[in-house]
């Protein structure tokens, strides 16, 4: 039995700053590799193998088994003795390649001819016959893991059944999957004392007898950290998805790896159980960390259609006074948005998602609808609620001065609020499936010293679902509502709802939609309702095309909701730092529609 798979991978590494002799050796090695490849090509041209009577994977496997050896052709001439031996070996190689697919009694004939001068053609004619079918399949779990429901289900779901064709590739893959499931569940000594396939070639039948012995389950032992001595151990322990004494789980190891990856404090994290030091079915775990530099300065330039060209400068101290506390400062200067912020983070003591933030910021925003200047201070206490879930309570002080159309607000606000979000994506760079939603409630009153009283509720959701043929559908929604007594125009302009732009209703300028005054100036609305649906088709490894439809608007009541619509096409290019999106959108449902380009960079959650 043999299963052949064609294809090869080669990585070339060119060292820098090495001696000339090493470069010369590398040059000679390159010539030798080219010569080998050339000889392989010459062999394939001088000796051709044609397989008849098969199709699909069976034919591909036989063709791979009958690949012409490069050494069969020497200096442009075919070695006749080797060629005759290759022809004699062809039936055996073909038979072995077909056994992988359950064909044990094929009828094989070969014919050698010379279709043109210097070219030999070997024709292999195959009648595969009837495949071997299974009459009995016995898969069982033995030992302490026999009562494990997931392992029992995995054995019950073994993909080969009586009556099916014996497929050795399926058998090997399913057998490995069953053992991997046992290892993931902490049965690190799992093995197969029985793994038998009985084949009756005369009757074209087979039986499978497979037994997995789990052995005793293991537990997590001591966790040892290496490579980051300046980070406090209690801080590093907050990233662990397990504790010493917990049942060993491969999934918990993987989740711990993901947890460290989200910290953005380490270049690399390698977690591995130390089986050699295991005692009494307790496995120590080694965590090798390569921390980023403590102090980081990043500068960047960019462009989006919402904000225009821009420049950013960011400074971070990732481990202030070796306490794991973090200092962040940021300066953003763009055509329509300018701001500076300072943020200090106190990490939580039990969960890496938990923290306390203190933030100071100043910002000026100038859109087609309003101009706003604000200075704010905020304290937020965040807490993790399981994987991907984060909740927080915050208190914000803000002084704003803003103008929208003919309306001006200048207000001091003390605003408490609550936030909750959940994010589940299979990749942060190019997700194919996932969900993200965010909920927020905030408000203030004159009793807090604010100049106005109101309550607001905000929500957003993004859903990504894969479809066949490398197509995915993305659905997005935004909603907001305001409750207050008195005139809505008393609400500060930064707390009113506007929409339009790259991430809302495409086809319209950023924040250009909302209720208008008698002069046609957009003043912002009490409520918000926006939805979008997008189909994306992947092309190659990094490219995709998209078609989308956006709709919604800001409004003061449902009777006056003026639904804006936009539809269009886009292209996507996925990079290690996130996707680059370019869309062209057309306004829908208006008498004189306009077209608008939208350009964004990064994953939009």
Q: What is the mean pLDDT of residues 200-216?
A: 94
- Predicted local distance difference test score (pLDDT) of residue 293: 96
- Predicted local distance difference test score (pLDDT) of residue 485: 81
Domain boundaries, the chain: 20-127, 133-213, 219-291, 295-601
The answer to whether residue 219 scores a pLDDT higher than 50 is: yes
Spatial separation of the C-alpha atoms in residues 422 and 441, rounded to whole Å: 16
**Please, what is the end-to-end C-alpha distance for the chain in angstroms?**
50
* Tokens describing residue 246: 């917990």
Spatial separation of the C-alpha atoms in residues 497 and 553, rounded to whole Å: 9
**pLDDT digits over 221-260, tens only?**
999 999 999 999 999 999 999 999 999 998 899 899 989 9
Q: What is the mean pLDDT of residues 537-541?
A: 92
Residues 6+ positions from 118 with CB-CB distance below 8 Å: 46, 78
- Predicted local distance difference test score (pLDDT) of residue 428: 67
Which range, of 77-81, 111-115, 192-196, 286-290, averages the lowest pLDDT? 77-81
DSSP code string of 133-156:
EEEEEEEEEESGGGG-HHHHHHHH
- Predicted local distance difference test score (pLDDT) of residue 20: 36
The answer to whether residue 179 scores a pLDDT higher than 60 is: yes
- Predicted local distance difference test score (pLDDT) of residue 83: 87
413 band by pLDDT with thresholds 50, 70 and 90: very high
Strand bridging mode 295-304 / 578-588: unpaired
Q: What is the mean pLDDT of the chain?
A: 89
**pLDDT digits over 87-138, tens only?**
999 999 999 999 999 999 999 999 999 888 878 899 999 999 999 999 999 9
**pLDDT digits over 51-69, tens only?**
999 999 999 999 999 998 8
Q: Domain 133-213, what fold?
A: Ubiquitin-like (UB roll) (3.10.20)
The answer to whether residue 443 scores a pLDDT higher than 70 is: yes
- Predicted local distance difference test score (pLDDT) of residue 351: 87
The answer to whether residue 2 scores a pLDDT higher than 50 is: no
- Predicted local distance difference test score (pLDDT) of residue 126: 94
- Predicted local distance difference test score (pLDDT) of residue 188: 92
- Predicted local distance difference test score (pLDDT) of residue 32: 41
- Predicted local distance difference test score (pLDDT) of residue 602: 56
The answer to whether domain 219-291 and domain 295-601 are alike in fold is no
Q: What is the mean pLDDT of residues 418-435?
A: 88
Classify domain 295-601 by CATH number: 2.40.160.50
Which residue has 């036989």 as its token pair? 62
575 band by pLDDT with thresholds 50, 70 and 90: confident
The answer to whether residue 40 scores a pLDDT higher than 80 is: no
The answer to whether residue 39 scores a pLDDT higher than 50 is: no
**pLDDT digits over 343-378, tens only?**
999 999 888 999 999 999 999 999 999 999 999 999
- Predicted local distance difference test score (pLDDT) of residue 284: 96
The CATH class, in words, for 20-127 is: alpha beta
Q: Give Cα 559 distance to the centre of its chain.
A: 42
Residue 555 three-state SS: strand
More confident call, 263 vs 603 = 263
- Predicted local distance difference test score (pLDDT) of residue 4: 32
More confident call, 165 vs 15 = 165
- Predicted local distance difference test score (pLDDT) of residue 79: 84
Spatial separation of the C-alpha atoms in residues 16 and 189, rounded to whole Å: 45
Residues 6+ positions from 540 with CB-CB distance below 8 Å: none
- Predicted local distance difference test score (pLDDT) of residue 70: 82
Please check whether residue 549 is in contact with residue 487, taking contact to mean a CB–CB distance below 8 angstroms.
Answer: no
- Predicted local distance difference test score (pLDDT) of residue 387: 82
The answer to whether residue 19 scores a pLDDT higher than 80 is: no
The answer to whether residue 605 scores a pLDDT higher than 90 is: no
Q: Domain 219-291, what fold?
A: Ubiquitin-like (UB roll) (3.10.20)
- Which pTM value belongs to this model? 0.74
Q: Give Cα 166 distance to the centre of its chain.
A: 35
The answer to whether residue 142 scores a pLDDT higher than 90 is: yes
More confident call, 488 vs 467 = 467
**pLDDT digits over 493-518, tens only?**
999 999 999 999 999 999 999 999 98
Determine what percent of the chain is predicted with pLDDT higher than 70: 92
Ranges of H-type helices in 263-380? none
**pLDDT digits over 292-324, tens only?**
999 999 998 888 999 999 999 999 999 999 999
């Amino acid at each position: 039995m043999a299963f052949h798979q064609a294809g090869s991978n080669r990585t070339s590494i060119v060292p820098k700053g090495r001696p000339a002799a090493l470069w010369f050796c590398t040059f000679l090695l390159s010539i030798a590799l080219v010569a080998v490849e050339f000889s392989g090509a010459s062999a394939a041209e001088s000796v051709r193998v044609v397989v008849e009577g098969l199709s699909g994977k069976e034919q591909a496997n036989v063709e791979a088994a009958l690949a012409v050896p490069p050494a069969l052709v020497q200096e442009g001439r075919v070695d006749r003795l080797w060629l005759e031996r290759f022809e004699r070996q062809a039936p055996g190689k073909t038979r072995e390649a077909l056994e992988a697919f359950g064909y044990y009694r094929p009828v094989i004939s070969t014919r050698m001819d010379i279709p043109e001068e210097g070219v030999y053609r070997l024709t292999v004619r195959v009648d595969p016959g009837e495949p071997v079918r299974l009459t009995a399949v016995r898969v069982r779990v033995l030992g302490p893991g026999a009562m494990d429901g997931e392992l029992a289900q995995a054995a019950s779901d073994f993909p080969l059944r009586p009556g099916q064709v014996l497929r050795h590739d399926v058998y090997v893959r399913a057998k490995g999957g069953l053992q991997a499931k046992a290892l993931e569940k902490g049965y690190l000594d799992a093995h197969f004392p029985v793994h038998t396939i009985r084949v009756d070639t005369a009757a074209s039948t087979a039986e499978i007898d497979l037994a997995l012995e789990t052995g005793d389950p293991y537990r997590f032992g001591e966790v040892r950290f290496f490579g980051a001595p300046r980070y406090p151990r209690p801080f590093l322990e907050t990233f662990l998805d397990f504790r010493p004494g917990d049942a060993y789980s491969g999934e918990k190891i993987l989740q711990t790896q993901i947890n460290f990856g989200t910290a953005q404090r380490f270049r690399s994290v390698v977690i591995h159980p130390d089986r050699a030091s295991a005692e009494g079915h307790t496995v120590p775990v080694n965590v090798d960390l390569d921390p980023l530099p403590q102090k980081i300065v990043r500068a960047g330039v960019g462009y989006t259609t919402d904000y225009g060209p821009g420049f950013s400068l960011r400074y971070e101290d990732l481990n202030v006074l070796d306490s794991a506390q973090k200092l962040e400062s940021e300066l953003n200067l763009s055509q329509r948005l300018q701001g500076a912020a300072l943020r200090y983070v106190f990490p939580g003591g039990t969960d890496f998602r938990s923290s306390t933030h203190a933030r100071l910021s100043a910002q000026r925003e100038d859109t087609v609808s309003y101009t706003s200047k604000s200075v704010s201070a905020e304290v937020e206490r965040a807490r993790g609620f399981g994987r991907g879930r984060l909740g927080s309570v915050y208190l914000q002080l803000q002084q704003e001065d803003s103008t929208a159309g003919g309306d001006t607000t200048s207000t001091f606000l003390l605003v408490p609020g609550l936030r909750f979000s959940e994010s589940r994506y299979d990749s942060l760079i190019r997700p194919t499936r996932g969900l993200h939603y965010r909920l927020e409630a905030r408000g203030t009153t004159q009793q807090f010293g604010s100049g106005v009283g109101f309550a607001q509720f905000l929500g957003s959701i993004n859903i990504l679902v894969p479809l066949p043929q490398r197509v995915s559908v993305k659905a997005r929604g935004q909603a907001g509502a305001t409750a207050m007594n008195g005139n809505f125009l008393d609400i500060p302009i930064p707390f009113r709802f506007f929409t339009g732009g790259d991430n809302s209703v495409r086809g319209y300028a950023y924040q250009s939609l909302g209720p208008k005054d008698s002069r046609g100036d957009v003043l912002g609305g009490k409520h918000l309702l926006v939805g979008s649906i997008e189909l994306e088709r992947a092309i190659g490894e990094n490219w995709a095309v998209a078609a989308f439809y956006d709709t919604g608007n800001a409004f003061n009541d449902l009777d006056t909701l003026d639904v804006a619509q936009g539809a269009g096409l886009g292209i996507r290019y996925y990079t290690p730092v996130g996707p680059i999106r370019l869309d062209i959108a057309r306004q829908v449902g208006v008498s004189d529609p306009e077209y608008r380009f939208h350009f964004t960079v990064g994953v939009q959650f």
